[in-house]
Amino acid sequence: MRTRLYSAIAVSAAVLALGISARAQVPDDPGQTYLPLVAQLPTPTATSAPPTPAGPPFVGDCTSRPRRSDAPNFPVGIAILNKFTEVVTFQNFSDQVIDLTGWKLCSLNGGQQHIIPPGTTMGPRGGATIPASSAPVWNDRERDDGALYDPSGRLVAYYFDGGQFSPGTP
């Protein structure tokens, strides 16, 4: 029995796209069976570089009306926004710890601010769940998108409310 290294193209086009090479035990005698294929995945490389924005950053506050396309959604994204429980979960897409102190999460329908407790941090590639504010912020009867601004007022993330409405409402 001998080992052969197959190029990704001999394995499949999908494997080629992933840059995977594979090894298989090839029998010396055609009557013998092949042993299982073992894939060698490439070592992933992490990057914390943000995508190149199309234009200057959008700067605003809870009274602004940004577009979805204005938000880079990096280094932080709004992963979950539950309008009924008023709980929000953020995702850190960077390799850095992010302190959310001074950041603003805004309801774009009514201009209210969802309070982010001071000292809230997210580890690299981690997340943070923000509890409900003392007063209702999100409109659960109609569309209510959200915008996240860093302490300098720069739009970082946009949440599109794709129709999460209370039962029995139009």
Per-residue pLDDT tens digits for 123-167: 999 999 999 988 999 998 899 999 999 999 999 999 999 864 444
Give yes or no: residues 76 and 152 share one domain: yes
In a domain, 165, yes or no: no
Give pTM, 2 decimals.
Answer: 0.65
Give yes or no: residues 92 and 154 share one domain: yes
In a domain, 50, yes or no: no
For residue 16, what pLDDT is reported?
Answer: 34
Print the domain residue range for 16: 2-40
Q: Which residues of the chain have pLDDT under 50?
A: 1-24, 26, 33-54, 164-170
Give yes or no: residues 93 and 130 share one domain: yes
Give yes or no: residues 116 and 77 share one domain: yes
In a domain, 146, yes or no: yes
Give yes or no: residues 31 and 105 share one domain: no
Output the six-digit token pair for 28: 């010396």
For residue 95, what pLDDT is reported?
Answer: 96
Give yes or no: residues 72 and 35 share one domain: no
Residue 155's CATH number? 2.60.40.1260
Distance CA 138, CA 110 (A): 8
Output the six-digit token pair for 27: 């029998």
For residue 58, what pLDDT is reported?
Answer: 86
How many domains, the chain?
Answer: 2
Give yes or no: residues 28 and 77 share one domain: no
Distance CA 77, CA 156 (A): 8
CA-closest candidate to residue 111, choices 170, 69, 65: 65
Give yes or no: residues 31 and 77 share one domain: no
Give yes or no: residues 95 and 150 share one domain: yes
CA-closest candidate to residue 147, choices 95, 84, 69, 85: 69
Give yes or no: residues 82 and 35 share one domain: no
Give yes or no: residues 27 and 72 share one domain: no
